Amino acid sequence: MSSSALQLQHSNYNTFIEFENGFEYQGERLYSIIFERNKETIKVNKEKFAVRNLQKIFNATFSISPKIGFQAMSLRDLSAETGLSMGGLYSSIASKEAIAIMVKDVVAIVCDEIVENSMAKDDPVEALQTIVRGYLYSSTIMQSWFNFLYFETKSLPDLEQEASKNLELEQVTAMAKILRNLKPDSDLDMEFVATMAVSLIQERYVKPWKHHQPKTTVDQYAVDCLALIYKTIDYQID
Amino acid sequence: MSSSALQLQHSNYNTFIEFENGFEYQGERLYSIIFERNKETIKVNKEKFAVRNLQKIFNATFSISPKIGFQAMSLRDLSAETGLSMGGLYSSIASKEAIAIMVKDVVAIVCDEIVENSMAKDDPVEALQTIVRGYLYSSTIMQSWFNFLYFETKSLPDLEQEASKNLELEQVTAMAKILRNLKPDSDLDMEFVATMAVSLIQERYVKPWKHHQPKTTVDQYAVDCLALIYKTIDYQID
DNA sequence: TTAAAAATAGAGCGATCGTTCGTTTTTTAT
DNA sequence: ATAAAAAACGAACGATCGCTCTATTTTTAA
């Protein structure tokens, strides 16, 4: 696939701005991807209309759901917030549950790409940078999506609930592997260190009410996270 | 109050078993406390019956809710799981929402006591031990309660949602204060370190599917957490 | 043992849920 | 401009929700 070559040119980044420019899962592009992946269940045929509606639907979901929860959000709430009628909603989505499943799908794609990009690096220092910054920056841009999946996994069917949990396990496993490459002789529990690191990254999108500082400081947060990891595993930065 | 004297004798602990023995918010005692605090809204008068029903109701809630979410859990589900009729349920609770509020109240009491016990220590090393072990051990014993509040805060009325968030902020603030006492001259961001520490402690009750090892290792987890904190702030343990 | 009191049962209430579908409006293509 | 096609509308449906209320059973106290 040419996609891995495409990703490669986007997988070197040291700042948020740099990352954001190469990040394709935002704006209309994102909703085109969702439309393309759900054509069979979406009754609207024309991308133009589907994208417009999907955008409204997800924006409304991410506006209502964090306050009262996805289950408590009725499709009438959604209708009011989007400005679409009940019929209008159901022309763009197969069911209420389908909204949650689509969120899970998108987050899964992004997470897989982060791990993939990181694993492609031979240098473990670069690999760690890539996974930490990639996860932190992606979840900053797509904060609503990551937050939704974190808190609404219960709203998914059993199969996608399992898939959702595996996303996080893969992050931890990948990071632990990198840490072992960085310090092959260490007898530290790198799974524990990776768990700590992932928790710290999740903090920002899980508890946005705690981190209400301006967006620019996500770069500082990345630096702090990396410094904490290096210190924990006694790695001297050159 | 004699309660602070009472707490004092329970506030020295270095192992989980030790802590558990002095922990009063478990078993029938816990439900007596809940009954006592909600007498006005509970229609059942006799403690014996109320305690038995409350025990059933909370056990059932913690059995159903983690799988499908509190909102999706119907009172008919609860009726089936508890073996109580609809009328039986409503003789022991004021409403469905009241279940969530009672969980929040209990967790708030426990959290306040942890912070209180910790702040009572003059030695910052002891204070850190007390808050880390206290939070970790309490949330291990009351895993279902802490987990429920974490994920179902959205199901609470606005006022208790705010209170629930403040619980965590108080933990972080208290811990940061202790860390500053430990290292008064450090220019590290102790709020950041405390955030990391609290995240790490929460890991265990937030993601039980990740930490399925036997209960005894909660002591090792406490040691690991403390070691990580000390290392992060460059504190030499004597 | 028995009558009053307390607790439990479960059918039933109005409200609201997710979803459907016949109709109307908008868009597309000639 | 007009007819066909696509999209949007919104009333209506059956199911289920949280909750109530009266009848029944269990417990209590003499």
| Per-residue confidence (pLDDT) for residue B215, from 0 to 100 | 66
Structure tokens at B76: 């008919």
Residues B197-219 as b or e (16 or more Cβ within 10 Å = b): bbbbbbbbbbeeeeeeeeeeebb
Residue A237 counted as domain residue: no
Residue B237 counted as domain residue: no
Residue A238 counted as domain residue: no
Distances (CA, A) of A102 to A33, A97, A154, A233, B179: 11, 9, 14, 38, 43
CATH of the domain at A86: 1.10.357.10
Cβ–Cβ < 8 Å for B50, B44 = yes
Residue B84 counted as domain residue: yes
Residue B102, classified by CB atoms within 10 Å of its CB into exposed (0-12), middle (13-18) or buried (19+), is: buried
Distances (CA, A) of B108 to B98, B114, B115, B165: 15, 10, 11, 10
| Per-residue confidence (pLDDT) for residue B7, from 0 to 100 | 47
**Gap from B160 CA to chain A (nearest CA, Å):** 13
Residue B44: what are its φ and ψ, rounded to 5°?
-70, 130
| Per-residue confidence (pLDDT) for residue A121, from 0 to 100 | 97
| Per-residue confidence (pLDDT) for residue B29, from 0 to 100 | 98
CA of B151 to C1' of C6 (A): 37
How many domains does chain B contain in total? 1
The list of chain A residues with pLDDT below 50 reads 1-8
Structure tokens at A218: 């996500």
**Gap from B103 CA to chain A (nearest CA, Å):** 18
Cβ–Cβ < 8 Å for A154, B67 = yes
Q: Is the CB of A49 under 7 A from strand D?
A: yes
Cβ–Cβ < 8 Å for A154, B151 = yes
Give the dihedral sign, CA A89/A93/A98/A99: negative
Residue B238 counted as domain residue: no
| Per-residue confidence (pLDDT) for residue A6, from 0 to 100 | 45
Distance in angstroms (rounded) separating the CA atoms of residues A160 and B205: 21
**Gap from A45 CA to chain B (nearest CA, Å):** 33
Residues in chain A with CB shorter than 8 Å from the CB of B228 are 196, 232
Distance in angstroms (rounded) separating the CA atoms of residues A58 and A144: 9
| Per-residue confidence (pLDDT) for residue A66, from 0 to 100 | 97
DSSP secondary structure of A72-91: T--HHHHHHHH---HHHHHH
Q: Which residue of B has its CA nearest to A190?
A: B224
| Per-residue confidence (pLDDT) for residue A113, from 0 to 100 | 98
Distance in angstroms (rounded) separating the CA atoms of residues A101 and B147: 23
Residue B187: what are its φ and ψ, rounded to 5°?
-105, 20
Residues in chain B with CB shorter than 8 Å from the CB of A71 are 69, 71-72
In this structure, what DSSP letter does residue A208 have? Answer: G
| Per-residue confidence (pLDDT) for residue A4, from 0 to 100 | 44
With CB atoms and an 8 Å threshold, state whether A72 touches B154.
yes
Residue A65 counted as domain residue: yes
With CB atoms and an 8 Å threshold, state whether B224 touches A151.
no
In this structure, what DSSP letter does residue B25 have? Answer: S
Cβ–Cβ < 8 Å for A13, A138 = no
Residue A56 counted as domain residue: yes
| Per-residue confidence (pLDDT) for residue B2, from 0 to 100 | 39
In this structure, what DSSP letter does residue B26 have? Answer: S
Tens of pLDDT, residues A178-228: 999 999 999 999 999 999 999 999 999 999 988 777 665 899 999 999 999
Residue A77 counted as domain residue: yes
Q: Which residue of B has its CA nearest to A202?
A: B199
Interfacial residues of B (vs A; Cβ cutoff 8 Å): 66-69, 71-72, 151-152, 154-155, 165, 168-169, 189, 192, 195-196, 199-200, 202-203, 207, 209-210, 224, 228, 231-232
Task: List per-block mean pLDDT (blocks of 10 residues) for chain B, which spans 238 residues.
Answer: 47 92 97 98 98 98 98 98 98 98 98 98 97 98 98 97 97 98 96 96 94 79 97 90
Residue B31, classified by CB atoms within 10 Å of its CB into exposed (0-12), middle (13-18) or buried (19+), is: buried
Range of the domain at B80: 2-232
